[in-house]
């Protein structure tokens, strides 16, 4: 099973036996299913009780990437409309993304019309930008905009909207898909596990002796509408881990404390960095020590994966049959996860990406 951040729709034929609600929940009223890794007692509580579940000395790691207005309207030189969804951060004037046919997010991604055929060297309009196609692989494209710097960024924010899916028809404003600590706009979709982390809760964690560290991970798209592409998700994603975060992880580990990832993007960044560190030790360098700085996460986690750095995580709720459910089973036995989701359904929790949460530790 592949690691996917958010499987927004049950995989076709997925035998989901439980019915989680699929509506949005105010970030101040999120509920939390607490799932111990090594015990059978499940419980449901308010997300705001998070500090009570952690111990002084534990470390919480968040992804501080802000969400890009990654859905952009486009048009070929022949006048054919398309939607460009950015899948990665904008690098200078280079745009990476996926093309969808005419229409909008109200149509399920897999039912969207195919994008117009576009060839290398073609000039297309994207919002107010004019861009040259420099790479095409199916729906995946790489464009170089004629505009740069101030003009490019103004145009992106003028015509871009957050990427959305069909289960929520209304267009979300950009502010609705940002965490309370978002910084650089690197994420194609919101690192939504951090949405319920209000400053009230973050400061309560600090008072409880729990340190909070950041990394920036360029969360990509969770769906492209193309089966072959979707099976290969997530694609390699850029991340950056500050030196201070590396130090805090080392200190927590040395004390015997736990590292809690807020969201699977944090899991992917930290475990990919750990993998890189292991590889680096082959050359006799830095034997297994995490390194600060930038990297590209290529690691694909699944139920067989044994996490090296991350001891626990906060995530959205995902029913059996969703690929994300499989990822969580790297941390907790499948049977217990199934019972947790049933319990959540019984209590009316929501599996919307702006819905309720679970804490596994």
Partner 1 sequence: MKISGQGALVTGASRGLGRALAQALAAKGARVAMVARDAGPLADAVATIRANGGIAHAIAADISDKDAVHKIAGQAQGLVGEIGIAIHNASTLGPVPLRLLLDTECEDLAAVLETNLVGPFRLTKILAGAMALRGSGVIVHISSDAAVEAYPRWGAYGISKAAQDQLSRVLAAELEGTGVRVLAVDPGEMDTKMHADAIPEADPATLQRPADVAARIVSMIENDDKAKNGLRLAAASWEVAP
Which of 128, 144, 174, 280 contacts partner 1 by CB under 8 A?
A: 174
Dihedrals phi, psi of 52, to nearest 5 degrees? -70, -20
State yes or no: cis peptide before 112, omega within 30 of 0.
Answer: no
Is 252 one of the binding residues for partner 1 (CB under 8 A)? no
Q: How far is the CB of 76 from partner 1 (least distance, A)?
A: 26
Contact yes or no for 298/279 (Cβ under 8 A): no
- Identity of the residue, 292 or 343, whose beta carbon is nearer to partner 1 in the bound complex: 292
Q: Among 41-49, 71-79, 96-104, 198-206, which window interacts with partner 1 (CB under 8 A)?
A: 198-206
Q: Is 15 one of the binding residues for partner 1 (CB under 8 A)?
A: no
Contacting residue, 73, 242, 307, 333, with partner 1 by CB under 8 A: 242
Name which position in 183, 209, 236, 348 contacts partner 1 (CB under 8 A): 183
CA distance 153 to 300: 32
**Interacting residue with partner 1 among 103, 169, 173, 236 (CB under 8 A):** 173
Q: Does 199 participate in binding partner 1 (rule CB under 8 A)?
A: yes
> Least distance to partner 1 from the beta carbon of 158, Å?
8
46 binds partner 1 (CB under 8 A): no
Residue 264 · residue 324 · CB < 8 Å: yes
| DSSP 8-state class, residue 203 | H
Write each residue from 69 to 88 as x if it is in contact with partner 1 (CB under 8 A), else as -, in one continuous string.
x-------------------
CB 168, CB 14: distance < 8 Å = no
Backbone phi, psi, residue 72, to 5°: -125, 135
Number of residues assigned to the chain: 361
Q: In this structure, what token pair is assigned to residue 216? A: 């920036």
**Sole window of 120-128, 156-164, 222-230, 269-277 interacting with partner 1 (rule: CB under 8 A):** 156-164
CB-based burial label for 111 (10 Å; 0-12, 13-18, 19+): exposed
244 touching partner 1, by CB under 8 A: yes
Token pair listed for 309? 């750095």
Phi, psi of 91 (to 5 degrees): -110, 110
Find the part of the chain contacting partner 1 (CB under 8 A) among 35-43, 170-178, 250-258, 321-329: 170-178
> Smallest Cα–Cα separation from 219: which of 64, 352, 60?
64
Total residues binding partner 1 (CB under 8 A): 33
Q: Which of 7, 32, 42, 62 binds partner 1 (CB under 8 A)?
A: 62
Q: How far is the CB of 132 from partner 1 (least distance, A)?
A: 21
Buried (b) or exposed (e) across 64-77, using 16+ Cβ within 10 A? bbbbbbbbbbbebe
Q: Which positions touch partner 1 (CB under 8 A)?
A: 62, 64, 66, 68-69, 90, 149-150, 153-154, 156-158, 173-175, 178-185, 199, 202-203, 206, 212-214, 242, 244
């Amino acid at each position: 099973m592949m690691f996917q951040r958010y499987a927004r729709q049950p995989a076709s034929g997925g035998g989901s036996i439980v019915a989680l609600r699929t509506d949005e929940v105010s970030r101040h009223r999120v509920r939390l299913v607490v799932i111990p890794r090594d015990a059978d007692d499940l419980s449901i509580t308010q997300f705001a009780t998070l500090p009570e579940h952690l111990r002084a000395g534990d470390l919480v790691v968040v992804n501080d990437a802000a969400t890009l207005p990654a859905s952009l309207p486009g048009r070929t030189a022949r006048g054919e409309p398309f939607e460009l969804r950015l899948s990665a951060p904008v690098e200078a004037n280079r745009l990476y993304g996926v093309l969808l046919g005419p229409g909008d997010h109200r149509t399920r991604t897999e039912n969207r019309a195919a994008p117009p055929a576009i060839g290398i060297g073609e000039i297309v309009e994207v919002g107010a930008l004019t861009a040259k196609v420099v790479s095409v692989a199916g729906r995946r494209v790489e464009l170089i905009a004629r505009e740069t710097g101030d003009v490019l960024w103004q145009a992106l924010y003028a015509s871009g909207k957050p990427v959305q899916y069909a289960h929520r028809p209304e267009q979300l404003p950009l502010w609705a898909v940002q965490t309370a600590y978002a910084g650089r706009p690197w994420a194609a979709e919101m690192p939504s596990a951090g949405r319920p982390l209000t400053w009230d809760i973050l400061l309560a964690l600090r008072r409880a002796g729990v340190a909070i560290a950041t990394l920036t991970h360029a969360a990509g798209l969770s769906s492209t509408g193309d089966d072959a592409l979707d099976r290969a998700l997530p694609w390699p994603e850029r991340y950056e881990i500050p030196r201070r975060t590396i130090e805090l992880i080392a200190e927590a580990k040395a004390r015997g404390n736990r590292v809690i990832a807020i969201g699977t993007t944090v899991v992917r960044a930290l475990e990919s960095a750990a993998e890189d560190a292991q590889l680096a030790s082959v050359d006799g360098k830095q034997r297994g020590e995490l390194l600060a700085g930038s990297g590209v996460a290529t690691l694909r986690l699944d139920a067989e994966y044994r996490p090296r750095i991350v001891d626990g995580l906060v995530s959205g709720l995902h029913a059996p049959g969703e690929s994300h459910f499989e990822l969580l089973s790297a941390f907790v036995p499948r049977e217990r996860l199934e019972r947790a989701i049933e319990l959540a359904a019984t209590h009316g929790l929501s599996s919307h990406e702006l819905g309720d949460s679970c804490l596994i530790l």
